[in-house]
Amino acid sequence: MRVVELWRFPVKSLQGERLDAAELGPGGITGDRQWALFDVASGFGLTARREPDLLFAAARTRPDGGVEIVLPDGTVTADDAALSAWLGRPVALRSAAEVTERRRYESPDDDLAEAPKRWHDWEGAAGGAFHDNADGRLSLVSTGTLGSWDRRRFRSNVVLEGAGEDELLGARLRLGGATIVVGTPIPRCVMVTRPQPGGIGRDTGVLKTIHRERGGDLAIAARVLEPGTVRTGDVLEPA
C-alpha cells in the first residue's frame, strides 16, 4: 500500500496540517497532538466528543516549535483569553511537556445517542503527546476501508492507497525511512459523526455502520520502533 496523505494534528481535536513529508519518532509524527485545550474549572482535557466546536478551528505548527490556532472567524491566536472567549468558558492551551499529571477527558456513555445525557471520564496516554492510547502513537487507514466516507472524519496520520490494513496487526513494517509495529485496531467514538468545515455534516450513520459491520473499529494504531522520514508516495512494506 502506498502513502497518499500525511496528517499532523498539533492540537488535540482541532483540524490539522496536511504534509508532504513527516518525521516519525517515538511519539509518532513529530509535533502531532503536542498541545491540548484544558477546561480550567474541571481540569478535563477538551475533545470534540464533549466540545464539537473544536473541529471548526485549525492548528498549525510554528517554525519555532510552538503552535497557533486559526479560529472560525479567521483570528490567529494562542492566547488563553481569546480561546476562552471563543469557547465561552475559561480554557488553557497546554503543551504535552507541561502536563505531567493524569490526563482526563470526557466521553458520552452512549456513543450512538443523538443527544447523550450521561458522560464518564477516562484517562488518556500518560507522558508524551496527547494520544488516547499509549500503544498507538501513529494511526493508519486505507482508502479501501474508507470507501465513500470523508477521510477527515477519522483523523488518521497516514492514509494508504489500497486495502488490507486490518490484516497487518502485529506486523513489523517499513514506512519510508522508519520502522513501525502495528498494535491494535482503533475503536471509534462519537467524534466521527461530528460536523466539520468543508461540507462534512453530522452523520450518526457513520458510527452505526462501523459498529454493525466492523465491530466498532476503523483504522490501525502503530508504534515507531526506528525513527525516520516518511513521504507521500512511499510504500508500506514488510521490514
Three-class secondary structure of residue 189 per DSSP: coil
**Percentage, residues of the chain above pLDDT 70:** 100
The CATH number linked to 220 is: 2.40.33.20
Residue 72 belongs to domain spanning: 2-238
Residue 101: is its pLDDT beyond 90? no
Which H helix or E strand runs over 159? strand 158-161
> Is this prediction's pTM over 0.85?
yes
pLDDT per residue over 189-225, tens digit each?
999 999 999 999 999 999 999 999 999 999 999 999 9
Beta strands at 35-39 and 58-61: parallel, antiparallel or unpaired: unpaired
Domain count, the chain: 1
pLDDT per residue over 69-81, tens digit each?
999 999 999 999 9
Beta bridge partners of 216: none
- Cα dihedral 160/28/189/211 (nearest 10): 40
pLDDT at position 114 is 67
pLDDT at position 65 is 86
For the chain, the C-alpha Rg in angstroms (whole number) is 17
Cα 222 from Cα 186, distance rounded (Å): 10
Residue labelled with grid coordinates 492540537: 11
